[in-house]
Amino acid sequence: MARRVRWRGAVVAAVLLGFVGGIRGNGTLLLAATIPLAYVAYGSVSTAAVPESLTVTRRVDPRVAPPGRPVTVTLTVRNDGDRTLSDLRVVDPVPSALAVLRGTPRGGGTLEPGESVTVTYTIVARRGEFDFPPARVRVRGAGAGAVATADRQPSGDTRLICRLDADAPPLSDIGDARVGRLTTDAPGEGLTFHSTREYRHGDPAGRIDWRGYAKQGELSTVNYDRQVSATVVFVLDARAASRVAAGPGRPTAVELGAYAATRALNTLLGAGHDVAVAVVGVEGDGPGGLSWLPPGGGSEQRSRAIAVLGEAIDAAPAADCDPTQQARTLGGLVDRHAQFVLVSPLLDDAPLSMVEQWSAFGGSRTVLSPDIVASNTVSGQYEQVRRRTRLARCQAGGARSIDWRRGTPLPTILEATFAAEAHRAGGSVRAGGGG
């Protein structure tokens, strides 16, 4: 317990009143001097202690989260004792690598027996595991002259775990079946009705329109949306220019990009497509210095892809990286009709050159750009204009550009992105069924 002098003014007032009253022989002033002395005496005899009956609990929701996800932390201190705590303060120390987005980790008040005080605040998840220190509780005595401080380890949650695949659903059995679910404009075998055509000798009996034959007496064959399997190459921009964040304690653009790629490739692998991963801007052991994972499918490919993306976040950026040359090298590692998905914050013109390099390979190109530019300053507004200009240039060059703005749920962005690409994949995939 620490004791603090809280009544210095009262001491001065008592001395001054007593001195003047003694000189002048004024009993009223001498009596008045006893009033501040009473406060001094009360404060000097008051005690403070942090009772063992205080119950501290913490809840972290969600406890496992992907990068960029807001996480709500709730700390509750309950007085289970039989005496009132007139002045209680509590602080929940936030791990130094994280930042508070909303609310405050501090609180306090007077606690009657059975009452509780709760502090709630929101932090932003970053990749890694973060342990919360014990909560700090401070109690003042009734006269506020004594202060007791103690660290209490809360029950409940003590750690935040942030993983790239935190909210990714498990792969279904289809993920290993090697048959994709993108559709083409060309009809074929499948499940969804596309059209009918004139019957040809040798058409399977299961595709004959028997209902139409019963009505019109003519044989026709049913076409369905043809199921196809695509090769999609996710390219993460991990250069030094992309290792920026929207603010202290926030995830970098590389972290957000790795999360976006993880969530997207999980969806495509679950549909049976081949997925490859390349990282630009770090020293890799692949061709041209790339960090490279060749195309593959299934749950094992997902695990390897997540490992490559995680290593990219932790790796130091290469000093002499030539992104244009690496993009050219990447184009020669996959078949001509592979689809490219570049994940980059577009903070310089290098990604534009990369997208331009892939235009010669015939497959579709998509640019998914996480927005990490703060727009509350003049310089931030200027950079935001330049970034959106680059998005427009990608669109004008034939690539689909997706602006992942802060606050927009990533699944919504990905659903819109790959739904729009579904029918464009028809000429750049391996057919999974005949027509």
Which 3 state secondary structure label does DSSP give 240? helix
Average pLDDT estimate for 237-254: 91
| One domain, residues 307 and 273 | yes
Count CB-CB contacts under 10 A for residue 118: 13
| 386 Cβ contact list (under 8 Å, min separation 6) | none
Number of domains in the chain: 3
Residue 344's CATH number: 3.40.50.410
Is there a contact between 228 and 432 (Cβ–Cβ < 8 Å)?
A: yes
| One domain, residues 318 and 426 | yes
| Maximal CA-CA distance, the chain | 130
Within-domain flag for 156: yes
| One domain, residues 135 and 264 | no
Average pLDDT estimate for 211-230: 66
Within-domain flag for 418: yes
Within-domain flag for 99: yes
Within-domain flag for 208: no
Output the pLDDT for position 177.
40
**Domain boundary at 103, 130, 162, which?**
162
| One domain, residues 143 and 234 | no
| One domain, residues 74 and 142 | yes
Cα dihedral sign for 196, 197, 198, 201?
A: negative
**Distance between CA atoms of 105 and 58, rounded to whole angstroms?**
11
Output the pLDDT for position 364.
85
| One domain, residues 81 and 145 | yes
Peptide bond into 323 cis (omega under 30): no
Q: Domain limits at 97? A: 54-162
Which comes out higher in pLDDT, residue 45 or 74?
A: 74
| One domain, residues 38 and 99 | no
| One domain, residues 314 and 257 | yes
Number of H helices, E strands in the chain: 9, 22
Average pLDDT estimate for 227-249: 86
Output the pLDDT for position 420.
47
Output the pLDDT for position 123.
96
Within-domain flag for 181: no
| One domain, residues 156 and 290 | no
Residue-wise pLDDT for 389-412, tens only, equals 999 999 999 998 889 988 777 877
| One domain, residues 92 and 13 | no
Within-domain flag for 182: no
Within-domain flag for 395: yes
Average pLDDT estimate for 182-198: 53
Which comes out higher in pLDDT, residue 195 or 316?
A: 316
Residue 109's CATH number: 2.60.40.10
| One domain, residues 134 and 262 | no
Residue 369 has pLDDT above 70, yes or no: yes
Output the pLDDT for position 6.
53
Task: Give the chain's mean pLDDT.
Answer: 80
| One domain, residues 37 and 109 | no
Output the pLDDT for position 425.
42
Residue 204 has pLDDT above 70, yes or no: yes
With a pLDDT cut of 90, the percent of the chain lying above it is: 41
Within-domain flag for 1: no
Q: State the burial class of residue 162 (Cβ atoms within 10 Å of its Cβ: 0-12, 13-18, 19+).
A: buried
Output the pLDDT for position 3.
42
